[in-house]
Structure 1
Amino acid sequence: MLTKTASMSQADAAYCRVEEMIVTRVLAPGQMISEKRLSDDLGCGRTPLREALQRLKLEGYVEIHASRGILVAPIDVVRQLDLLEVRRSLEDLMVRLGAERASSSEREHLRALADDLEAAGQAGDQTAYLRLNRAVHHALACVSHNDMLASTIAVIHGQSRRFWYSQVEGRGLFEQAAHLHGATLRAVADGSIEAASRHAAAFLDFLETLTRNALERRAVHARS
């Protein structure tokens, strides 16, 4: 059943739910699904669902085929490296602006998110980590107080979450990621511009290593 907050439209709620289903592979890469079945599963109308699907199509999550249905887009490791190249510059700008511009209440919220994210990482709770990771991305984008930056990086963050969830295994990686991300959150909350930039770069180095390892595994598999 679709749930939404008072400030969230049905289309926004449908978008969030379907995106989460794709990221967590409830809807697997390459899977075909009908609009009717998805509407029934979510308990929402076809009109808000279609609006959500168009947004997901623009962001590269799905392909819409009039005669066949909705295709969940495959995960492209090479494309993930391209995304990380773009993300580095935008992420650096985002955390620098956030460290400079965040309000007192926003800084406290970032510290609370860091605590919660690290707790989820230590517990190896993938579902909690995923949802907190999304909240972290949203919070960091918001404290930049730059709407254009926030809307641009949101698409990249979403695709990064999807790739991350498809690759990560074991509590150790969750703990490492939570520690790196938590350090960035705390640096932004403390107003430490250079530290925020440094910690964000370290986190992206971690993601790039994960991506290149996945690419190498794919190459080995292709040769075998």
Structure 2
Amino acid sequence: MIVTLRLLPGALLSEHALAQRLKIGRTPIREALQRLAREGLVVIMPRRGIRVSDIDLDMQLRLIEVRREIERLMARLAAERANDEERREFIAIADEMLKVGASDNDIAFYRLDQRFNNLVATAARNEFARRSIGLMSAVARRFWFRYCERATHLATTAKLHAAIAQAIAAGKPGNAAAASDTLMNYIEDFTRKSLAG
């Protein structure tokens, strides 16, 4: 709900209200809120409640610096280490990315992107890279939902993801790393334009 902006930046939350709304106990809610605070998505204000954090464009640029390196590494490793079944899945995801990009369905893209990212992380076979990128994903996605002008950016981003998937499927680590850099260059440019606009 925070990532997709159903809970807007600045919104105030309470453990009790969330527990009632989601029909789960307060302990899992508290644990989830602590995780969200570690990820920078909420701010816990002792004795005052919880606030959905603001979207910080400068922080997003710093995040991109780190993401670029980790995503390049993961794409390269996935191209080297993916098994045959994973390579077939990358081919299928590349085809689906192109279809979703043409459909202007941001929720379908978001779900497919999650599937793609999970497959890259699995195929890379590096739990440290997986954990590191996992900490950044929600912040990056929330930024996307806030600033994306769907039609133009969705189609381009889907094509760039498809290129990474195709390079991984082909077992070409250099091409996968280069395709990852192309995607991150696009994301950085998009972020800088959002800062200027």
TM over 0.5: yes
Aligned to 1:100, the other structure's residue is in SS state helix
Question: Aligned runs of 1:39-188 on 2, under 5 Å?
Answer: 39-188=19-168
1:177-205 Cα offsets, whole Å, 9 max, x none, are 00001110111111111110111111001
CA-CA distance at 1:118 after TM superposition? 2.3
Aligned to 2:59, the other structure's residue is in SS state helix
Structure 1 residue ranges (4+ consecutive) displaced by more than 4 angstroms after TM superposition:
none
Aligned counterpart, 1:13: none
Question: Aligned runs of 1:21-32 on 2, under 5 Å?
Answer: 21-32=1-12
Amino acid at match of 2:43: E
**Root mean square deviation of aligned Cα:** 1.2
CA-CA distance at 1:76 after TM superposition? 0.5
Q: Separation in 2 of the partners of 1:77 and 1:178?
A: 22
Query: Which runs of 5 or more structure 1 residues have no equivalent in the other structure?
Result: 1-20, 218-224
1:38 paired to 2:18:
yes
* TM-score under structure 2 length normalisation: 0.95
1:120-177 Cα offsets, whole Å, 9 max, x none, are 2211001111122122222211211010110011112222111111111131211110
CA-CA distance at 1:57 after TM superposition? 0.9
Amino acid at match of 1:50: R
The alignment-based identity, stated in percent, is 39
Greater relative CO, 1 or 2 (CA 8 Å, sep 6+): 2
CA-CA distance at 1:215 after TM superposition? 0.8
* TM-score under structure 1 length normalisation: 0.84
Q: Separation in 2 of the partners of 1:147 and 1:213?
A: 33
Q: Separation in 2 of the partners of 1:135 and 1:42?
A: 25
Q: Separation in 2 of the partners of 1:170 and 1:98?
A: 29
